[in-house]
Amino acid sequence: MTSEERYQIKLHKKQLDEKYLQKQIIKLNENKSQILIRIRTFNRKNKHKYKNSKEIYLHQRDVVKLLNTNNRTIDLLLKERLIKNSFGFMKQIFSLSDITFFIHSLK
């Protein structure tokens, strides 16, 4: 396989990822109110543990449950810097306030 063929494969994969991410963002936007309700209930259940929502950190599996999506979508959102991880060395930890901000920013 030549370098040009490898480049074309990477380009094609990137285009497929972009299309997939656009579909998932549309899906997240359609379910925005349900996601915000799940976040509020999660906040209420854990209110006694934390003083404010900025202190709540979630593992990737919890974010998947809150957003009702899959790991691939979370990885693509992270790759496109639409959401950010809370710790630079740990890929799978997210702040609840960052997730809430992302959901509110959806059009």
Please list the pLDDT of the chain residue by residue as tens digits (107 residues).
899 999 999 999 999 999 999 999 999 999 999 999 999 998 888 777 766 656 788 899 999 999 999 999 999 999 998 898 877 666 688 988 889 999 999 97
Domain that holds residue 36: 3-105
Q: What pLDDT is stored for residue 53 in this prediction?
A: 54
Tally of domains in the chain: 1
Quote the pLDDT of residue 75: 92
Structure tokens at 92: 């799978």
DSSP state of 82: S
Residues pairing with 87 in the sheet? 90
Q: CB under 8 Å to 93, separation ≥6 — which residues?
A: 57, 58, 59, 60, 85, 86, 87
